[in-house]
Amino acid sequence: MVMPRPRPHALPRAVLFDAYGTLFDVHSVALLAEQLFPGQGERLSLLWRERQIDYTRLLTMSGRYRPFWEVTRAALRFAALRLALPLDAAGEDRLMNQYRHLSAFPEARDVLAALHRAAVPAGILSNGDPDMLAVAVKSAGFAAWLDPLLSVHAVQRYKTDAAAYALGPQALRLAARDILFVSSNGWDAIGATWYGYTTLWVNRNGAPLEQLDCEPSHTGTSLRAVLDLLLPVKA
């Protein structure tokens, strides 16, 4: 179900998805984490993700850059130390490999296939490194449906920096307002809205809206909200 706000211009002509947390479930690593550290899997997954995003912000605000793969490993190490978990090199490698092959959300396949059938261009704009995105997309079986795969590595600035969001209009040769940017991360949806995208916040868990006097263009509870918005027009 989608809950749109009134908009003064036509619906978007293309879609860009955030990858981690939107198409791919970052907390699917919790199953392996629970096997390695019984009773701590969910806590490790949550803290790992929180610190990962914190590090991207710290690096960008400080004018520094490290690839997302390195940031993700550093965040895992911090989370394990914070929780006093005995993470050895083998366990670290297993968790990092699992992150490379995250599970896709159940509805993602049907949504991407429907967009493809309707000839709606669909791609990714992500903090992830190019090779991370390529592996995740291939592992999920989405390669035929997603193009381009845009990584902030090209500008070495993480979202919500304007240089990161600018990759979409540049690649698609469309105005930002003509692109539907889809993210399940509330902060990302707000950042993209500020940049000028038409935005869809996939609020799966009933989280409150960020209290920054800005709302995404649309809010839904699953990726199927993309189809509710676009396919009646495009079909």
Tokens of 88: 């050895």
Q: State the DSSP code for 10.
A: P
Residue 209, C-beta contacts closer than 8 angstroms, at least 6 positions apart: 186, 215
φ and ψ at 73, to 5 degrees? -65, -40
| Backbone CA torsion sign across 167, 105, 183, 144 | positive
Cα(142)–Cα(204) distance, integer angstroms: 21
Q: Which of 227, 213, 211, 218 is nearest to 197 (CA)?
A: 218
Answer whether 37's CB lies under 8 Å from 195's CB.
no
Q: Three-class SS of residue 143?
A: coil
Q: Which of 149, 152, 139 is nearest to 109 (CA)?
A: 139
Question: Which residue in this structure is represented by tokens 């509330």?
Answer: 186
Please tell me which residue in 18, 129, 161, 178 is annotated as part of the active site. 18
Residue 18: active-site member: yes
Q: Give Cα 217 distance to the centre of its chain.
A: 17
> Which residues are annotated as catalytic?
18
